[in-house]
Amino acid sequence: MKTAALLFAAPLAAWSAVGVPPLPAPTPSVAPSGAASAAPLATQAPPTVAPSQAPAIPAPTPLATPPPLPTAAPPTPVPPTTTPAPVAPTPGYRYVYTAPPAATPVPSGAPRIMEIDYTDQTLHQNMDVALRVVTTPAVASVTISALGREVPVPQVAAGIWSAQSHIPSVPFFLLNRTYSLQIRAATPDGRSDSVTFPVRLVR
């Protein structure tokens, strides 16, 4: 290996000692006829190329302004609903008496009971009862009586008399018995009209 390296090294050393022969100088080029006054290629300016004109872009057409949207009318205020005052319940009447037609015309100013409305003909202890009596305008007072006792009925309008009461607890010997209630209507001069109907008191 060492011998081979020496074999390559000797010619290289001889080559460097002797030197590389110089290359021949280049022959100057002759300019063509009619171009003697032309500037060297290195100093000639590059040809100016006119930029191509860009096509004209038309201006955008302004869009038409849309009409304003209609403004919704404000809602009509709704007046507050007034809650009617509660009406007292009308008592239910199960017994209704209507005066029969008179055989002869009733004289003007005569007392007459036209209608009686009562809670029921069967009553219970600890029960509320209501009474209404309709009379002719000449009547000045109305009373209700039972067991020998008489109680006035208040007038609430012309010819209308009304009252409410409560039946309390009663002794057992007064239960399961039938009683007569009498309604009496009278005028100031003492004339009167009366109606009697039965009621039964139970437990």
Is the pTM higher than 0.85? no
In a domain, 119, yes or no: yes
Model confidence over 157-198: pLDDT tens digits? 999 999 999 999 999 999 999 999 999 999 999 999 999 999
Q: How far is CA 108 from the centre of its chain?
A: 61
Band of pLDDT at residue 102, cut at 50, 70 and 90: confident
CB neighbour burial string for 123-156, b if at least 16 within 10 angstroms, e if fewer: bebeeebbbbbbbbebbebbbbeeeeeeeebebe
Q: Which has more pLDDT, 46 or 70?
A: 70
Q: Which residue, among 182, 97, 181, 188, has the nearest Cα to 134 in the 3D structure? A: 97
User: How many domains is the chain partitioned into structurally?
Assistant: 1
Determine which helix (DSSP H) or strand (DSSP E) holds 4, and give its type and residue range.
helix 2-18
pLDDT at 1: 44
Distance, in Å, from the CA atom of 112 to the CA atom of 135, rounded to the nearest integer, reads 6
The residue among 135 and 9 whose pLDDT is bigger is 135
The answer to which of 18-32, 74-88, 154-168, 185-199 has the lowest mean pLDDT is: 18-32
- Please report whether residue 125 resides in a domain: yes
Q: What is the rounded distance in angstroms from the CA atom of residue 198 to the CA atom of residue 203?
A: 17
CATH at 150: 2.60.40.10
Strand-pair category, 192-202 with 113-118? unpaired
State mean pLDDT over 101-112.
Answer: 87
67 belongs to a structural domain: no
In a domain, 186, yes or no: yes
DSSP secondary structure of 115-145: EEEES-SEEETTEEEEEEEEE-TT--EEEEE
